[in-house]
Amino acid sequence: MQTSWRPPDSGTVGITLEAHVAQQMAMSPGASGHFTSLLYQLCLAAKLVDSRVRQAGLAGVLGYTGDVNVQGERVQKLDELANETFITVVKRGGKVCAVASEELEEVAYVPGAGRYVLTIDPLDGSSNIDCNVSIGTIFGIYRRLSDSAGPADLGDVLQPGSALRAAGYVVYGPSTMLVYSAGAKFGVHGFTLDPTIGEFFLSHRDMRIPDHASTYSVNEGNWVRWEQSTRDWIDWLKQEGEGPKRPFGARYVGSLVADAHRTLLKGGVFAYPADQKAKEGKLRLLYEANPFAFIFEAAGGRASDGRRRILDIPPEKLHQRTPLVLGSADCVADFERFAAKK
């Protein structure tokens, strides 16, 4: 699907994230500049976290703080730094009334008339930090529902993914990229950080997930805990055959942002299904599954829990988990076909 908005050719000077967002918002009647300002703030926080991630090995911020977060996982120092960085920046920016973070047990409410709600996984893939594997930040932006004259409340946060106004992620890898979408109408666009000047420049215009690809990304170490329908799906992917071309090749980093980013670029499917241990799945609906579901749908892909569209799942709890199948539309449909047989 051709998106209605196309950035102008950049000529000799690259298009910065700020310029790109400003141009997109100029296409939005009634845009007040609050959304643009919030994206600028997230861009600043991403640069600050990138700097700390790059220095982690030298700055003694590797290793564990000894604390345990609400997920019961030992908190890496970088997790804390990333969480504090994003929350401090958006609090100062005055455009947000509430932040739901993987690192916070409860919502961080921000007094004032902020029009937006931020859901964020400040540094996903933290178990990979010490191994120098790509990690990332995942964020979603909602419009507040409550009257801005009063305090925000949980209802502002527990919105379905279909209500997202924008979503994005930052992948701190061999290069640092920020990918975001303000919805299918605007497309999905990727910006690569030029560390020599600290600017994100448009590098991946109008990203579309390939419709047909033969790569699957799943932790097969969970085999013994999987439902039979999941095992049957994996076995099918590994057999010779057509429609799509099989056998599929396997790629798995164990860092959602890295695995999802590769799937968005190359096509195929990422899955973290439910299993006997993680009966609701492992990944979080609000700040992991929903942002990626929003982005993948805007890029022509799909995101499901195996039965339902991720963006339609009504959140009931802040840290609610969900199974996640993310990727090219035909690959997600194949998973659902096997799940329907059980």
Q: Which residues bind ligand P6P (CB under 6 A)?
A: 124-125, 127, 219, 254-256, 259, 272, 282
How near is the Cβ of 278 to ligand P6P at its closest, in Å?
Answer: 8
Calpha distance 218→234 (Å, rounded): 9
For the bound state, the minimum distance from the C-beta of residue 129 to ligand P6P, rounded and expressed in Å, comes to 10
Q: How far apart are CA 324 and CA 124, in angstroms?
A: 16
Q: At its nearest, how many Å lie between ligand P6P and the CB of residue 259?
A: 6
Rank residues 273 and 300 by Cβ distance to ligand P6P and give the closer one: 273
Return phi, psi of residue 248, to 5°. -75, 155
Nearer residue to ligand P6P within complex by CB, 25 or 75: 75
Cβ–Cβ < 8 Å for 98, 144 = yes
Q: Least distance from C-beta 149 to ligand P6P, angstroms?
A: 38
Q: Quick one: tokens of 133?
A: 């594997």
Nearer to ligand P6P, 46 or 96 (CB): 46
Please provide the DSSP assignment of 222-274 as one string: GGGGS-HHHHHHHHHHHSSBTTTTBSPEE---S-HHHHHHHHHHH-SEEEE--
- 125 or 327: CB nearest ligand P6P: 125
Q: Helix crossing, 17-26 with 34-59: angle to 10°?
A: 160
> Measured from the CB atom, is 124 or 305 closer to ligand P6P?
124
Return the sign of the alpha-carbon dihedral for residues 144, 145, 149, 151.
negative
Q: Among residues 21 and 100, whose Cβ is nearest to ligand P6P? A: 100
Cβ 252 to ligand P6P, closest distance in Å? 7
Which runs of consecutive H residues, i.e. helices, occur in 94-174? 154-157
305 burial via Cβ count (<10 Å: 0-12, 13-18, 19+): buried
In whole angstroms, how close is the CB of 99 to ligand P6P at the nearest point?
A: 19
Angstrom CA distances, 166 to 5, 35, 236, 339, stand at 15, 9, 35, 30
